[in-house]
Structure 1
């Protein structure tokens, strides 16, 4: 018995190793990962070394701008409601342009109104809410991209994780470029220095704001020390905490209806936490959403092509299918794709909608070429794949 177990364990590890390689050499896999993480590494390096930039060449810090803009956009008056409605129309137009689905596009009109509702709930402070906000802002925030990437590797089309990494890295690079070129103060600045707000300077330390209360609960000074030594103090707009959660939502929700609800809750949780802990204004979170949606839109066509290739078996199986290849679990979360490389190439190269329609009809596949909530950009209506 022991001999059999000892014989199975090495084979199991070899199988997992080959699954991770996915026909790459070890060097090729590492090179592939490094290329996909290019913008992520650029963002991290820039953030960590932002303090090295000479303050004499850095732009003026706008300590009042975000607070004024936040009230102008989100206050419940004629001007505020008009701007919120314009944002809602823009959100609807963006989602409809991607999906051509009116009912789904209505969801994209909600963010400005949801931010107002969540903001109204941030004025009551208590220890349970401190811990609730900390779990999202100070814990899950740091692991959510890794969890999302792992889930996408398991269940999404092969190659989606690479697109996720590029979107994640580029949105963060755009965010830190904005932080450096347009430095702004977070809500804690007024709480700490009082009103009227004093002029900001780059020698001022950062603040943990509401996370100080979490340090008191935990009996530590982790967050006080970490934020005090932050290399980029005046980087409120856009909120990369918000952009992180939105990026994870856009990708996971594309491939799972359950993921839509789970990640949707996470986005709202993150929005509430950042405002409750006084680290961001509502406009910062809306900005993070816009940055994430903008980059996602750039790579949308690539996702369409990847999903088509996977639907017809051109790109092989996803991580789950490779891990459980040859077992009953291989297609537990999906149906077996058709093997028809020529069909996919024909649908990609054709410029006439009619010819694309006829090519896809020949595929004999009932599942959607898109994922759970996105239609094919070519306008071909399909049934949804089981996730």
Structure 2
């Protein structure tokens, strides 16, 4: 009896779980090409790590001048001296109102007026009729183009630097470098974010993108991380700036320690070593090959890149498919749904009344040869070089709407979980880096700008035209699905089950 039970468990685990994971993960590849694809996709990140690790081999006599005061001044005059840093260094209170004034001017002009002017020019003067950051938002994120929330979201990407500044200042309040603010639990919590999550969060984000989103999205994520980190380490080498712990330890006027022989310092992580009874963090930072690599903060850049992909790619449940029983491939013809009609074509089966929520739903924006490469404002006439071609949505499954809308799917159907995790990790990382005295707000903000710039670049030239557009063309039956890539990895693993819809960003 026990042997039969164990054999049954083995058959279930191996036959239903491992086999599905193996086939769904490889998807017509093999165990040799899959690691090769992984290495290729993340090769730029490996190059960045190699450059960082060997930066100490660069001869000192050819290295550029170290700007030990730059980050300190830029942080206070761009964000405001709320910690009294200028008074601590110079003993004068007259600096404080000037830092507030310059920060207000910087925020008003560069983070509000100019971005909103660009947004207004693009969408109201040039009358661009689609989301510049998400060409097919009416497919991935909304049921149709007439959704009122869609219009409001168009200005959000332009205001991301402003929101970053606001939340950086909020996190800055709770990271003040005073003995009264330090606590053992804060030290440990900040260490978890700064060390553990800094390494694992990008990996977990990549897993989420691989399981829940179209093939190629992970490649874009890896490309974004690699390019921004290469830009970051290049800036560290060409424009070295001192971290806040250096100023707090030696003072703003120090010149003796401003050299390339200066050892690194773990700053707030020293307190963690004392709690854990180790010297792991202290020893690691003493051997850091780039001591004056504060700007940009790659902790901030990597966290913000994870945030951008989690926010932009997570999709809500749109309820496009109605009640029905998922047909077996061997027993039923493929299911199609047409935009121009609410009648369903399912071979000869009339039992699956599938329909669209709106007349203008599921249009595929097809780009002309110049549409995806020309970014000048004069070429933003949407209707001139872009056209909306109605498509026929290929349904790989039919799910039970009652099952899909049960209460325990609520947090997933509203895309709350990935967005909440992305925002929480970003704010946690910002607070941790400032609390541990490793970065100024300026360092973190520049990291945000690096991540945002690279994300816009990859999104416009790779993700939208070369990944999402072809995938939508497959799902809309405009090109054949010869490689079984119309499904996400999760859809392939749970193929022909009641959970296949859960991994479909179009559901």
Report the TM-score when normalising by structure 2: 0.63
Higher relative contact order (CA 8 A, sep 6+): 2
Query: Which residue of structure 2 lines up, in the alignment, with residue 56 of structure 1?
Result: 61
Show CA shifts across 1:115-145 (max 9, x none).
1222122112222222222221121111011
Greater radius of gyration (CA): 2
The correspondence for 2:133, drawn from 69, 82, 98, is: 98
CA RMSD of aligned residues (A): 2.2
Return 5+ residue gaps in structure 2 as ranges.
81-98, 123-130, 135-150, 315-414, 476-480
Give 1:192 shift. Answer: 2.3
CA distance in 2, matches of 1:38, 1:91: 34
Change (3 A) 1:121 1:72: same
Change (3 A) 1:91 1:134: farther
Query: Which residue of structure 1 lines up, in the alignment, with residue 280 of structure 2?
Result: 222
CA distance in 2, matches of 1:134, 1:299: 31
Change (3 A) 1:290 1:195: closer
2:464 matches 1:304: yes
CA distance in 2, matches of 1:91, 1:289: 16
Change (3 A) 1:334 1:97: closer
Query: Which residue of structure 1 lines up, in the alignment, with residue 215 of structure 2?
Result: 158
Change (3 A) 1:87 1:277: farther
CA distance in 1, matches of 2:433, 2:154: 31
CA contact (8 A) 1:249 1:264 kept: yes
Change (3 A) 1:112 1:87: farther
CA contact (8 A) 2:205 2:310 kept: yes
Give 1:222 shift. Answer: 1.1
2:491 matches 1:324: no
- The 5 Å alignment of 1:213-362 reads 213-256=271-314, 257-258=415-416, 259-301=418-460, 302-305=462-465, 306-311=467-472, 312-313=474-475, 314=481, 315-334=485-504
2:215 matches 1:210: no
Change (3 A) 1:145 1:25: same
Deviates further, 293-302 or 18-27: 18-27
List 4+ stretches of structure 1 deviating above 6 A.
none
Deviates further, 212-221 or 104-113: 104-113
The correspondence for 1:72, drawn from 56, 62, 77, is: 77
Q: How many residues align?
A: 337
2:136 matches 1:131: no
Report the TM-score when normalising by structure 1: 0.81
